[in-house]
Amino acid sequence: MAGGQNTEGDANLSQPAPDRTLADFGPVKKPKRNRYVLACATLASMTSVLLGYENGVMSGANIYIQDDLNISDLQVALLVGTLNLYSLVGSAAAGRTSDWIGRRYTMVMAGAFFFVGSILMGFATNYAFLMVGRFVAGVGGGYALMIAPVYTAEVSSRGFLTSFQEVFNDAGILLGYLSNYAFSKFPTKLGWRFMLGIGAIPSVFLALVVLGMPESPRWLGMKGRLGDARKVLDKTSDSKEESEKRLSEIKEAAGIDPDCNDDVVKVQKQSHGKGVWKELLVDPTPFVRHILICGIGINFFEQASGIEVIVSYSPRIFKEAGITSSNGKLLATLAVGFTKTVFILVATFLLERIGRRPLLLSSVGGMVLSLTTLGFGLAIIDQSDEKLPWAVALSIAMVLAYVSFFSIGMGPITSVYSSEIFPLRLRAQGKIMGVVVNRVTGEPWHGYSFLYVCLRLELRRIWTCFMIVISSGGLL
C-alpha cells in the first residue's frame, strides 16, 4: 500500500508544471467595484442632502428670522430644535410607506415633502407659518434619513456604501452654510426667505433622478416579483453565485419556497412584518438581542455626542467665542461645514483599511479632548474682561477638531454599522428602530454644557470596548 502511494506521488511529480507568466508573480488584484451599485448607492444617498441642508441653513437663518419676526430665544430654540421630532414622524412613517409603495417612490415622496416645506418657509409671513413649513420639511428629511440607507443596504452587498448617507448629509450642511453666507448680503426680510426657499430646487432634481434607479430587490422579492428581483440582483452582484445567494436569502425572508423559480409568486401577508417585529422585540434570541442593543446603542450615542448642537448653533458658539460680526460668524461656520465634509470623505477610504472599532475609539477620544478644551476656552473668554485672541483661536480650532473627529469615525460608522449588523430579514425594521432612537435622542441635549457632553462620550467609549460586535465589512 505504501509503495502504491509513493508511485502515485512520483507520477504527480513527473507531470510538467503549468506555464506561468509574470502576472502570476504580481500583486493580487482587488475585485473591481460594481459601478452600477456605486451609482445606485450614490443617487439614493443624495436624498440625505435634504436633511443636511435643513440642519445647516437654519443655523444662520435663525439669526435673521429673530431680527425680522421679533421672536424670543425660546421660539428660536423651538424652531431649530424641533427638527428631530418632525423628522421622527417621517422616519417612523417611512417604514410602512416603503413597504407599501416601494423604496424608490418613498424617496420621491421625501423630495415632495421637502419641496413643499421649503416653499412654505420661503413665503412665511409669521412664526406659525414658518413652523408649519419647518414641520413639512422635517417630515421629508425623516423619510430620507430612513429610506436612503435601507435602499443602499438592500441593493448592495457592501456595507461601506451606506456611509455615503453621512457624506451627502455633510454636503447638505455645507450647502446650507454656503446659502447663509450668500444670502446674508440681502435685506433681512428677503435674505432668510431665500436661504430657506432655495432648498426646493435640489428636492426636485433628486426626485427626478431617483425615478431612474432600480427598485430594491428585497422589496420586489417581498412582493413576489422574483423575476424582477433576479434582474436587479444580477446587475448589483459581483458574480452569479452571489446573486443566487442573495436571492435565496430574500426568498427565506419572504417565506417563499427556496426551490421556486417562478417570476411571480403569491406571498402570504403574515410573512412581512409581524414575524420580524416579534423576533426583534417579543422573543429575540440571545444573538438578536445583542445586535439590537448594539444597533440602538450606537445610534443613541451618535446623537448624545452633541453634534447637532454644534451644527445648529455654530454662529452662536462663535459669538460666545468673541466673533461679533455677522460676516465673521458665517465664515467660521462655513469652515465647520467644509471641515466636516472633507473628513467624512477621508473616513470612506479608512473604513475598509483600518476597521470600525479603531476608528470609533479614536473618534470618540478626539471628540472628548476637543470638547473639553473648547469648554475651558469658552469659560476663560466668559470670565475675562478683555478680548483674548489666543482663547478665541483655540475655541475655533477646537470646534473644527470636534467635527473632524466626529466625521472620521462616529458619523459614518453609525450608518454603516446599523446596516451591517442586522441580517437581511431584520435589516429594515432594525434600521427603523435605530433611526427613531437617533431622532429622539437629539432633542434633550440642547442646552447642556460641553463638559457634560464629554462625560457621555466617555461612556460611549467604554460601551464600544465592551459591547460592540465587530462587523467585517464583507457581504451584508
* Average pLDDT of the segment spanning 439-458: 55
* Residue 263 pLDDT exceeds 60: yes
* Average pLDDT of the segment spanning 24-40: 62
For the four alpha carbons of 430, 252, 245 and 103, in that order, the dihedral sign comes to: negative
* Residue 359 pLDDT exceeds 80: yes
* Residue 119 pLDDT exceeds 90: yes
What's the chain's average pLDDT? 79
Lowest mean pLDDT among 57-71, 224-238, 376-390: 376-390
Q: How far is CA 410 from the centre of its chain?
A: 10
Containing 149, the helix (H) or strand (E) segment is helix 127-155
pLDDT band at 28 (very low <50, low <70, confident <90, very high): very low
Write down the pLDDT at residue 451.
52
Write down the pLDDT at residue 183.
92
> What gap in Å lies between CA 55 and CA 395, rounded to an integer?
22
Write down the pLDDT at residue 13.
44
* Average pLDDT of the segment spanning 194-213: 89
Query: CB burial class (10 A; 0-12, 13-18, 19+) of residue 18?
Result: exposed
Q: HSE-up of 183 (CA within 13 Å, CB side)?
A: 26
pLDDT band at 474 (very low <50, low <70, confident <90, very high): very low
Lowest mean pLDDT among 235-249, 379-393, 440-454: 440-454
Q: 172-190: string of b/e by CB count within 10 Å (b at 16+)?
A: bbbbbbbbbbebbeeeeee
In degrees, to the nearest 5, what angle opens at C-alpha 176 toward C-alphas 170 and 180? 145
* Residue 468 pLDDT exceeds 70: no
> What gap in Å lies between CA 79 and CA 135, rounded to an integer?
9
Pick 35-222+268-467's CATH classification: 2.40.50.140, 2.40.110.10, 1.20.1250.20, 1.20.1730.10: 1.20.1250.20
Write down the pLDDT at residue 159.
59
- Residues 301-347 pLDDT 10s: 787 777 877 777 777 778 877 777 777 888 888 888 899 888 888 88
* Residue 428 pLDDT exceeds 80: no
* Residue 282 pLDDT exceeds 60: yes
| Residue 278 vs residue 454, higher pLDDT | 278
Give the range with max mean pLDDT: 239-243, 264-268, 457-461: 239-243
* Residue 194 pLDDT exceeds 50: yes
Lowest mean pLDDT among 61-75, 328-342, 418-432: 418-432
| Residue 315 vs residue 100, higher pLDDT | 100
pLDDT band at 198 (very low <50, low <70, confident <90, very high): very high
Write down the pLDDT at residue 160.
64
* Residue 430 pLDDT exceeds 50: yes
Looking at residue 475, the DSSP 8-state letter turns out to be B
Q: Which residues pair with 158 in a beta bridge?
A: 475
Q: Which residues pair with 475 in a beta bridge?
A: 158
Write down the pLDDT at residue 223.
87
> What gap in Å lies between CA 369 and CA 360, rounded to an integer?
14
* Residue 286 pLDDT exceeds 80: yes
pLDDT band at 137 (very low <50, low <70, confident <90, very high): very high
Q: With pLDDT > 70 as the criterion, what percentage of the chain qualifies?
A: 83
C-alpha cell at 365: 477620544
* Residue 473 pLDDT exceeds 50: no
Write down the pLDDT at residue 459.
58
* Residue 151 pLDDT exceeds 60: yes
